[in-house]
Structure 1
Amino acid sequence: MYLNCHTYYSLRYGTIKPEQLLAIASENGLQTLALTDINSTSACLDFARLSSKYKIKPVLGIDFRNGVQQQFILIAKNNTGFQNINTYLSGFLHNSELKIPEIAPELEDVFVIYPYIHKKNYQLKDHEFLGIKPQDLNHLKFSKWNALRNKLVVLQTVSFQNKKDFNTHRLLRAIDNNTLLSKLPKSEQAQETDTMLPYQELCDTYNEFPELLENTASILEKCRVDFDFSQENPNNQRSYTTSEALDFRLLRKLTYDGLHYRYKKPGERIFTRIEKELTIIEQKGFVSYFLINWKILKYARSKNYFYIGRGSGANSIVAYLLRITDVDPVELDLYFERFINVFRQNPPDFDLDFSWRDRDDITDFIFKRFKNTALIAVYNTFKFKASVRELGKVFGLPKSEMDMLTRGKYDLKQLDQLSQLVIKYSKYIQGFPNYLGIHAGGILISEKPIHYYGATFLPPKGYATTQFDMVVAEDIGLYKFDILSQRGLGKIKEATEIVAYNHPEKPPIDIHDIKRFKQDARIKYLLKNAKAIGCFYVESPAMRMLMRKLRVDNYLGLVAASSVIRPGVAKSGMMREYILRYRDPERRKDAPKILLDIMPETYGVMVYQEDVIKVAHYFGGLTLGEADMLRRGMSGKFRSREEFMKVKQQFFDNCKNSGKPDELVEDIWRQIESFAGYAFAKGHSASYAVESYQSLFMKAYFPLEYMVATINNFGGFYSTELYVHEARMNGGIIEAPCINHSFTQTVIHGKTIYLGFMFLQSFESKTIKRIVKERNENGVFLSLDDFIERVPISIEQVSILIKINAFRFTGNNKRELLWEAHLKISKHVAQEPAVTLFKTERVHYKTPELPSTALENAFDEIELLGFPLCNPFHLLENPSINPLRAKYLETMKEQTVTIEGYLITTKNTKTTSGKIMHFGNFLDRDGDFIDTVHFPPVAAKFPFRGKGIYNITGKVMIEFDCVSIEVTHMERLAVIEDPRYSTNPPPQPSTARNSYSQMLAKGRPKPEVIPVPTVS
């Protein structure tokens, strides 16, 4: 009897979860229920999936509204009607300027319900009805529609469950209207009576108008929308070619065609694996899934886009031969059943990583090449702290009080009533969907039109996006294609291009020659000595320390390290145990023999997701399907906690029945539980290791070019400053931006690196384009006058260039140039210079001699680049006389030392008791790394105070060849007063210039321009 029910996917309006709505309906004796969220289909598929659990027939539709103004309700008679409704709604969601009209469209297989408005004239068609609310019944007695009851239906709207939900609704409406609750208009709220009544009570309400109940029941009876949630048949595009049979023949051909590229002498093991995989891929209906991924990557290779195929798909030799991945699953003994097995219902998983510069073109290709395509939504939900601020504004709390509440530093009982309400309702709406966003990379390519499953909206990216998320998509058998982006691939690709212009004599680099890279001595050296700054996934302090502890110098060791570093292994205590067993073969004998037999490669330690499956299968006696269900349940990807708990119980029952000691079983379960949610699939780690090897190759052979590419792609784990430092440590001569040498991005010539204009704070991109264009067309700039005549520029913009010393080739002092620029450039907006027959003669002003110092240059660099180009230790107020350096620490184990370090990064974490502690990463005066540990008492007493040089005192600890300082005292050292604002007289001009030249790296550029390629 309910034709207009809302869940909380009626965003900032409804308050009921989809399953909760079904539970309420079941309690109230209903057998059929219509879900009609406001301009939304987000809940429809989940509602339909869950309805059988509550023995309720689901009816689907949409409540079409402009804001809160209800125009009409469309209800689907069947799947065709649902598709038609979705298509109609999507038209409005794709164009926000369109308003929903008062008159509903005539759509096939759709019922229309108009809300009854007294004295309004309606012209109803056969499929259209008037919805009568309980409060309309008195008006109805005196209306002409009382005689036309065959066109009337019950319209008891359901938006909330109780008084608390109604209050929540009003708060959500106030948030949506950005207004105080006290000023929320009645027109922006629902009726307090919009709740679900027991079936009999609803019938009693309409007992004078039994026809309305009959008409409503008739409509509900005629509606049936069915979806298959069994996942037995994928709903992705079924055929890549014209038929599934032809698809399989093509997949087989492409697989065997790829043999010569991957293997010189494939043996029986390879052919057996291929046939096994092809059989399962065909049996599970994933042939087109493989072919579509192959097509996407074939296009990428045609455009010379770099990519990495990762995820559990790396466990497939078919994927390897199709060049979807670069991981050889036979070499690594990867477990294909982790990817696809006959027991597994969930979809396969290829994560395709592209450069952040190339991903948009790949997405565009997919939308143009494949018919029924859409991005996947994510539900951005209300978070507690954000909700406190939103509700604080609604209740009119001052900012200071909201700050206090968000920090959590309060006694709830001591708060006033309004603050208590803010906390109460912030907790209540936590997890409510707030608005729809876009999944990081998920794309659907469906056999049926996307609107068969739901409406789509159009975010700023410009691609149709579903209103449901990836979990719902999987439930219905739509398996996403993951098209992701990262900067690591952009660095590698750009590095090869930089090598091509900086070393034209070198042959082209085959960055995919991974087998050669695995044997390369230079790469082994970088790995073993953790000299991996800038390299994908292996550059963080924690990863570099782990590589030193493991003495990693080979591919398999790096694959293991990529997963060992994950939180689960560390949390279970098995990271340390793995290191011990790795370094000491005798220690391996301490492992339980059964685990050592299951995982000999990792010495009986669970390192990969596959290990969970192996242990659950061989140790816990679960089937492969049950073992994978266990893994997915722990990783948060499984739907039913009830089914997961059954599998967990089965694990313990099997262990008990097989006579395994309780203590051993509990210990192994603890490892599984702490580990499974964070671990990588082995193929995923292997894919990461491939990209690590590619970046390590570039770092080993072309460190300067690779650092330039890293800088241009905005780094990785660290800030630009450290990558500039790393380039300097590798022999690079670092130059500030120069108008005759620099481009938008950083460029290199030989060993001289010119930082790009784009790194200058507040420097406009249009100005950069003008400079580069003018220089390319008419040659280098000869002076400040020449520059001003040729480039339209404001005084603010030219001041930035002068302060960063971009005119240093002139030999003139910066202060003199600034004085001159202010005299010659007006403050009005710069215009393009007019072309005239005769060159205007400029007035040459006699400027006073105004010296600047090297220290002033350093502070200008800090202001404009964010860091100085000189050694930061030169800026200390009291010059350091401490001789201790990082390289000496390895001989000072257990000694208390004091050393100075320039802060690079910090990592905050919590102890098991919940106290805050830190890990620090510093550079010493020579540019070498210092690692520090700050336990809670020290962390509280001597906190980090931002960027700068710190005096660090502590005990030198050495474990597994890794040196760190356990800090006992720390303070930040003072830097000199900014000389640009100092009242002290500056040094004489000659002294200033000499000082500056000493601080510059050797090989200062000459005024002549070195030919360089155009860089946009």
Structure 2
Amino acid sequence: MFLNVHSSYSLKYGTMDIPAIVSNARALGIHQMVLTDINNSTGAIEFIRECLKQGVTKEPDEVQKGNIPYYIKPVAGIEFRKDNQPLYIGIAKSKEGMRELNEFLSAHNIEDIPLPSDAPVFKNAFIIYPFTKIFNRVLKPNEFVGIRSNQINYLFKHPLLQQKEKLVVWHPVTIGNKVEHRLHEYLRAIELNTLLSMVPEESKCAKDECLIPEEELKIKFETFPFIVENTQKLIDACDLSIYFEPELKSKNRYSYCKEGEELDKLLLRRIAYKGLEYRYGKNNPVALERMEKELRIIELKNYCAYFLITFDIVRYAISKCKFYHVGRGSGANSIVAYCMRITDVDPIDLDLYFERFLHEKRTSPPDFDIDFAWDERKTIQEYIFKKYPKRHVAFLGTMSTYKDRAIIREIGKVLGLPKVEIDGFTDPARERENQQNATYQKLIAVHQHLKSKPNQRSIHAGGILISQEPITYYTALDMPPKGFPTVQWDMYEAEAIGYEKFDILSQRGIGHIREAVQIIKQNCDCDIDIHDFKTFKNDPKLNGILRAGQPIGCFYIESPAMRQLLKKLKCEDYLTLVAASSIIRPGVASSGMMKSFIERYHAPDQVVYLCKEMEEQLKDTYGVMVYQEDVIKVCHYFAGLDLADADILRKAMSGKYRSKLAFEELVNKFFISARKQGHSEKLITEVWRQISSFAGYSFSKAHSASFAVESYQSLYLKTYYPKEFMVAVLNNYGGFYSRWVYVHELQKTGAKVHLPCVNHSDEVVNINGNDAYLGFIGIQGLESKFIETIPRERRLNGFFKDLEEFVKRTQITLDQAILLIRLGALRFTGKDKKTLLWDIYNYLGHKQKKINATELFNLEHKQYVLPELENSELEDAYTELELLGYPLNFNMFDFLKTSYRGNVMAADMHKHIGQTVKMVGNYVCEKTVHTIKSTKMWFGTFLDANGDFFDTTHFPDTTPIYPFKGKGCYLILGKIVEDFGFQSVEVLKFAKLDIHMNPVAVE
């Protein structure tokens, strides 16, 4: 009877999630429903699955009560709306009908075409139009009219009675009960960006739009029983049971080869064995044995096509585009992936655990993460979408919820609260004060109801689905701004349906490496084999930089926290770096396990293991769980869980598992199984504490190894070609730090760094020999048109001879020319800035004058003799600070009124351990941390006057509410402490130092 049920996937409209809808319906004895969310089919397959799941569940107490389990017949469709008004409801008669509805909506989403007022003819789907008093539409065979119980009186002498077989019951369901209607009103107000009291009635659902017993609904239509009969016939004609799958089957493309899966197996073996010889030589029995083991499981699980498609993507990137990539994730645990060059991580060298990636009992899909440079990923994505048929390839979606406390701001807005009051409610520092405020309590109460609700659909960072059958059998498609069709559900639903995603990701570190190799070729005439990792990892110079903790610009290992960890570990080898890449993660650090690892790393003979099993499985990491594989091993060998359950538990703890109940069952299973192994309750509790605090934030060992390989590649380039490497870092928008830090590093290499110059600079930084010119792209306020035009014009027609020619050839505007002059980009003229500013007004005046690009006669402007105009270094430095964000040739310390630079420099901190000292530092960055007591503390990073880094710690009891006051130099009074060889300053007093004012501002 319920042909129009909305779930919370009807965004900012429905209030019930799908399990609640099914559960409520079962409690009311309802036997069939149609889920029709507004302009989406996000929940369609979940609804079908949930009906089956709740129907076959036989709880003991239900049996005792005499309740016979049954499943609600699930039917699905879509409610089509335009401009917030319902047009018609589409109901799928079959799987083909679901595809028709999804295809129809997808076409309009992708082409950005408004939905038509009249539905097209669907072969396998019904259409229901809302009843109106003046309804006069000519109905097609598959079309009906839905009438509400409160509209029955309008049927008297209505023309539709002549087609009474076309009338069906229309009882929309939107809310769980009448109390939830208020929650619905909040959602509508947020959607319409209006006050709660100003939401139009026509934009809201009726207060009775909730589930009621079927018999009660039938009574409402007892004067027209044929309407109920028509409705029942419509539902009886629908059958989506084909979506019931007792055993989950992969929906990914079955075969890579057109000829089918058998040829896939042969092709995979041929490529893998060819790569085996390339990676390991001709006779390596260990590699050969592992290859056969992996291929057997891959074939058994029918993942040959998955590997071959990934290989095809990588092959295209390498051979056609000359792109560099990094393969990471659990897929890097595979020797097959290593030999196919999907990854550069050697699983034998690292003793990687293949079962972390794939094993016979594993039901969840494997995972490949392929990283490309930030500006190359779209090319790869376009290749994938062109290679595979339309509607068989799509981006994975995501679904954000209202859990972010920022929604409190939205709730406050719809309640009409002033901005100042809302700002106070969203300030964490005022949390205790707010708790006593009645208005705040109301906001929090609404937020509690909203926080688990879906808020909006978006696009996954890089997940792509390649489907055997059209994806529209399972979802409609959106077209987000990125320009690729995107499914309407997230990774959890994709996995539940049976899709494995291909992660095509990007990172700037790869761009650093790629461009550095190109620049080295141009500037040094040297070809670099950046994949010669075996040489890199044994290079003492590279390992020396690691040990010193100064890898600025190198991907993943340049952050203050990572630099500190490298120094504490005295890291000087690949395996230690692999471990460091994992233990830096938040869960390990916050649980105290990072500190334990460092202590045990320096004193391995003094390690006391919790038990024999922990020693056997974690001896390489001194009894500390460092990798995700460690969680699996501990669950398997300590607690006795089988590999499948151990891996599912690991995955659940990483946040990739939605069922809270299923997770709790696994936790109970862990404790029960561990007790059966004879372990004490105290030991089991401690092992579980370590697992639970670690697993949610950990990396797989292969993932960490991939990062470590990339770090070594960056280290090699930084060590042997530092100038070219730092230019590449700048041209790929840096890394962890602000741009000026990398300019500073470039200057430290001995390169002569020049301000932008119209006769030497390009769009980005360039280097020729020892001279590096900053690019136009870094000038704040310079339009992209001129960033591109100036170097292009110079390359085509040669250097600019003077200001007048520059103006004519580039057609630059007055305001843009002034920016370049102020920064010194026209210094080639030999004139000072103020003279050039005078001249530019002479050419362009106060208003822009059109100057023809070509002239019959080249007429020179009259030259005027100007008095000498003064210019100062300080004024220039302030101009650079304004237009570049940093002064290039004027040290930040030179802005200071004082000449004091501290009584200890960073390089000498090790000589003053335990002493209270004064240091002066140029602010680099900060990190805020919340303590156990809900107070704040900070970690700061600074450069001293010699250009060396040092770090500070600001504890709550010695620090004001917020200690930092932006860019500049600070006087720091503090105690130098040392932790495993790493020195830092525990700050006692802290103040920003006064600077000389801009002479122009003073005037």
Is the counterpart of residue 516 in structure 1 residue 535 in structure 2? yes
How much has 1:769 moved relative to structure 2?
A: 2.2
Runs of 4+ in 1 over 6 A off after TM superposition: none
Partner of 2:108: 92
Q: Percent identity?
A: 44
Aligned equivalents of 1:77 and 1:112: distance in 2? 11
In the alignment, the residues of structure 2 paired with residue 629 and residue 383 of structure 1 have an alpha-carbon distance, to the nearest angstrom, of 25
CA distance in 1, matches of 2:141, 2:725: 71
Distance 1:827 1:447, change over 3 A: farther
CA contact (8 A) 2:901 2:919 kept: no
Deviating more after overlay: 585-594 vs 624-633: 585-594
Q: 1:784 aligns with which of 794, 803, 823?
A: 803
**Who is 1:951 aligned against?**
971
Change in 2 beyond 3 A, CA 1:197/1:856: same
User: Within the alignment, does 1:874 sit opposite 2:898 as a pair?
Assistant: no
- Alignment CA distance shift 1:566-1:385 (3 Å): closer
Superimposed CA distance per residue, residues 18-61 of structure 1 (whole angstroms, 9 cap, x where no aligned partner): 22111221122111110001111111121112112332221010
Aligned partner of 2:290 among 265, 269, 273: 273
The corresponding residue for 2:252 is 236
Of residues 81, 88, 106 in structure 1, which corresponds to 2:97? Answer: 81
Q: Residue 101 of structure 1 corresponds to which residue in structure 2?
A: 116
**In the alignment, residue 753 of structure 2 is paired with which amino acid?**
I
CA distance in 2, matches of 1:386, 1:544: 33
Could you say if the C-alpha distance between residues 485 and 197 of structure 1 is closer, same or farther in structure 2, counting changes exceeding 3 Å? same
Deviation at 1:655, TM superposition (A): 2.5
Alignment check: 8 A CA contact 2:915 2:976 kept: yes
Please name the residue that 1:497 is paired with. Answer: 518
Amino acid aligned to 1:459 = P
By how many angstroms is 1:231 displaced? 5.8
How far is 1:173 from its partner?
2.2
Aligned partners of 2:272, 2:37: CA distance in 1, in Å? 47
Cα contact 2:759–2:800 (8 A) shared by 1: yes
Q: Deviations over 1:99-158 (max 9, x none)?
A: 322322111211121111113213223322211111111112332334543221110001
* CA distances 1:384-429 after superposition (whole Å, capped 9, x unpaired): 5432332333232221122122226375686566x65544323322
Q: Which residue, 757, 780, 794 being the options, matches 2:776?
A: 757
Q: Note if 1:889 corresponds to 2:906.
A: no
> 1:832 Cα shift?
5.8
Deviations 1:72-99 (A, max 9, x none): 1111111011001110111221233x33
Q: Please, which of 349, 366, 383 is the counterpart of residue 384 of structure 2?
A: 366
SS of the residue corresponding to residue 52 of structure 1 reads helix
1:219 to 218, 222, 234: 234
SS in 2 for 1:547: helix
Deviation at 1:520, TM superposition (A): 1.5
For 1:446, the equivalent position in structure 2 comes to 467
Check whether the contact 2:165–2:226 (CA below 8 A) recurs between aligned residues. yes
Quote the Cα distance in structure 1 between the aligned partners of 2:165 and 2:232. 12
Say yes or no: does 1:456 pair with 2:456: no
Question: Which residue of structure 2 aligns with residue 332 of structure 1?
Answer: 350
Counterpart residue type for residue 22 of structure 1: V
| 1:69 alignment counterpart | 85
Where does residue 579 of structure 1 map in the other structure?
598
Q: Distance in 2 between matches of 1:595 and 1:415?
A: 51
2:5 aligned residue:
5
Decide which moves more: 798-807 or 936-945: 936-945
Distance 1:237 1:827 in 2: 64
Contact 1:942 1:970 in 2 (8 A): no
Indicate which of 903, 912, 918 corresponds to 2:932: 912
Q: Give the C-alpha shift of residue 714 in structure 1.
A: 0.6
CA distance in 2, matches of 1:413, 1:858: 48
Alignment deviations for residues 153-179 of structure 1 (CA, whole Å, 9 cap, x no partner): 110001112233222222322322223
Query: Secondary structure of 2:571's match?
Result: coil
Aligned counterpart in structure 2 of residue 543 of structure 1, from 559, 562, 569: 562
The one-letter amino acid of 1:354's match is: F
1:531 aligned partner:
550
Q: CA deviation at 1:591?
A: 5.6
- Which shows bigger deviation, 319-328 or 459-468? 459-468
Gaps of 5+ in 2: 55-70
> Aligned AA for 1:46?
E
Q: State the TM-score, normalized to the length of structure 1.
A: 0.94
Question: Is the 1:378–1:438 contact (alpha carbons within 8 Å) kept by the matching residues of 2?
Answer: yes
User: Deviation digits for residues 352-404 of structure 1, max 9, x if unmatched?
Assistant: 00011110010000001112100111113335543233233323222112212
Question: Separation in 2 of the partners of 1:784 and 1:412?
Answer: 61
Tell me how large the CA RMSD over aligned residues is. Answer: 1.8
Shift of 1:539: 0.5
Q: 1:213 to 1:353 in 2, by over 3 A?
A: same
1:560-571 superposed matches below 5 A: 560-571=579-590
Is contact 1:229-1:477 (8 Å) kept? no
1:253 paired residue among 270, 275, 280? 270
- After TM superposition, the structure 1 = structure 2 runs for residues 426-825 of structure 1, keeping only pairs within 5 Å, are 426-504=447-525, 506=526, 508-589=527-608, 592-825=611-844
Please give the secondary structure, in 1, of the residue aligned with 2:687: helix
Residue 209, structure 1, aligned to residue 224, structure 2: yes
Contact 1:229/1:476 (8 A) holds in 2 = no
1:187 is the counterpart of 2:202:
yes
Q: Distance in 1 between matches of 2:962 and 2:412?
A: 34
Aligned residues: 979
Alpha-carbon distance in structure 2 between the residues aligned to 1:517 and 1:834:
53
Q: Which residue of 2 aligns with 1:843?
A: 862
Unaligned ranges ≥5, structure 1 = 984-1016
Q: CA 1:44–1:827 in structure 2 vs 1: closer, same or farther (change >3 Å)?
A: farther
Contact 1:231 1:475 in 2 (8 A): no
- Distance of 1:733 and 1:413 partners within structure 2: 58
Partners of 1:133 and 1:155 within 8 A in 2: yes
Using a 3 Å threshold, how does the CA distance of structure 1 residues 349 and 942 change in structure 2: closer, same or farther?
Answer: closer
Q: Residue 613 of structure 1 contacts residue 628 of structure 1 at CA under 8 Å; is this kept in 2? A: yes
Write out per-residue CA displacement over residues 846-881 of structure 1, whole angstroms, 9 at most, x where no aligned residue.
Answer: 222111111111100100010111211011022225
Q: 2:232, 2:537 → 1: CA distance?
A: 70
Q: Distance in 2 between matches of 1:624 and 1:783?
A: 74
In structure 1, distance between residues paired with 2:807 and 2:195:
54
CA spacing shift, 1:547–1:82, aligned 2, 3 Å? same
Q: Does 1:960 align with 2:980?
A: yes
Equivalent position of 1:42 in the other structure = 42
- Alignment CA distance shift 1:270-1:221 (3 Å): same
Deviation at 1:707, TM superposition (A): 0.5
Distance 1:224-1:287 versus aligned 2 partners, 3 A rule? same
Q: 1:948 to 1:706 in 2, by over 3 A?
A: same
Shift of 1:789: 3.4
Q: What amino acid is the match of 2:510? A: L
The DSSP-based 3-state class of the residue aligned with 1:595 is: helix
Work out the CA distance in 1 between the residues paired with 2:600 and 2:190. Answer: 56
Contact 1:915 1:936 in 2 (8 A): yes
How far 1:258 moved relative to its partner?
0.6
Secondary structure of 1:919's aligned partner: strand
Give the superposition deviation at 1:336: 0.6
Structure 1 residues 829 and 51: CA distance shift in structure 2, 3 A: farther
1:131 paired residue among 142, 146, 151:
146
Structure 2 residue matching 1:434: 3-state secondary structure: strand
Amino acid in structure 2 at the alignment position of 1:427: Q
Distance 1:795 1:543 in 2: 47
Distance in 1 between the 2:282 and 2:130 partners?
A: 74
Task: Indicate the larger mover: 2-11 or 655-664.
Answer: 655-664
Native 8 Å contact 1:580 1:587 kept in 2: no
Counterpart of 1:60 (choices 73, 76, 84) is 76
Per-residue CA deviation, residues 745-795 of structure 1 (Å, 9 max, x unaligned), is 001122221111110000011112221122112221233233223321122
